[in-house]
Amino acid sequence: MLKKLSELLSRSSVILSLQASEKTKAIAELAAPLIAEGVVIDEKEFVASILRRENLESTGIGFGVAIPHARTNAVKTMALTFGRSSEGVDFSSLDGKPSHLIFLIAAPETMKREYIWTLAKLSSLLRRDEVRKGLYNAQSADEVLAVIEQYERY
Amino acid sequence: MIKQLLIWVNETPEFHAAAAWTIDLARILSAQVYAVYIMPADARAKKGKRVNSEQEEKAWQVLYEIEDEAFEQNVRVSLLLETGDPLQRLCELSASYKTDLLVVSANCPVPAAELVRHSPKPVIFYKQPKEE
């Protein structure tokens, strides 16, 4: 059963003001809620997996959005975190612009189908102006979740 | 020296085979792959926004499948979702990303002669070998 994006993102995994402005630090900051929730069982391996992908791919998809991701045994169950950065973080986006809206996807090695589906759904959703605008303007974690819930297709 | 490869992808097995071959070639050459999915320009106007977002999701699924395969082979890959006329977009992207080679499936719907004539770079038409 494929979960909706709003079901994969918990309130405690929303960071409305990311402190880090450098990619590796931003990834560590985004990973922290997943570690606290017990979703990530091996912090070192999880961050290393994310960075391995970052070295081979540009996870910045343009429009000020980045979706760093990893599928690894260091993760127990699939989950998302969201971070918003006013300064922006360089995720080597093809349009050369920094990313302000960052979703981190963590998935267990065995959940390839769900992982690809979530990446696709999130990428498609975040290309919509109204979704990005909603996320920029959200004042609370509840508002972030409400924006995603409102626009994601069932 | 071939350092950057552009591959046109879609959901068909023929295009997927061409992408797999391109990733393998990139691994051998230590080259980077640009994988592009091109959606028809009139999709939104003809079928409405909802259908367009379904098409977008399918397109991203194809692209992320390619990304996952490239990652497994330690190949650098960038994903591009574009809209418009395939011939025009392929030629524009090949020029703007300064790719050295364009790879398309032999089943590519764009006439081969047209693609070769307009492409700023050499084109490989990949035909999947028949299984013995």
pLDDT in tens, chain A (154 residues): 788 999 999 999 999 999 999 999 999 999 999 999 999 999 999 999 999 999 998 899 999 999 999 999 999 999 999 999 999 999 999 889 999 999 999 999 999 999 999 999 999 999 999 999 999 999 999 999 999 999 986 4
CA distance B95 to chain A (A): 15
- Please name which of A44, A50, A46 lies closest in space to residue A24, comparing C-alpha atoms: A50
A98-124 burial, b at 16+ Cβ within 10 Å, e below that, comes to: ebbbbbbbbbbeeeeebbbbbbbbbbb
Cβ of A94 within 8 Å of Cβ of B78? The answer is yes
Cβ of A57 within 8 Å of Cβ of B78? The answer is yes
- Concatenate the DSSP letters of all residues of A4-25 into one string: PHHHHEEEEEEESS----SHHH
Residue B49's pLDDT is what? 52
Query: What type of residue sits at position A76?
Result: K
A69 is catalytic: yes
Q: How far is CA B22 from the centre of its chain?
A: 10
* Strands A69-71 and A99-107, bridge-based pairing: parallel
Provide the pLDDT confidence category of residue B128 given band limits of 50, 70 and 90: confident
Region of B30 please: left (phi>0), alpha (psi -120 to 50) or beta. left
Nearest CA in chain A to B97: A94
Provide the pLDDT confidence category of residue B46 given band limits of 50, 70 and 90: low
CA distance B75 to chain A (A): 7
* Local structure of residue A127 (DSSP, 8 states): T
Q: Which of A69, A71, A100, A132 is catalytic?
A: A69
Average pLDDT, chain A: 94
Instruction: Give which of B27, B62, B64, B96 to mutate to test A binding, by max A Cβ within 10 Å.
Output: B64
Provide the pLDDT confidence category of residue B53 given band limits of 50, 70 and 90: confident
Reported as a single tens digit per residue, the pLDDT across B77-102 is 999 999 999 999 999 999 999 999 99
Q: pTM for this one?
A: 0.92
Contact status, residue A70 vs residue A105, Cβ threshold 8 Å = yes
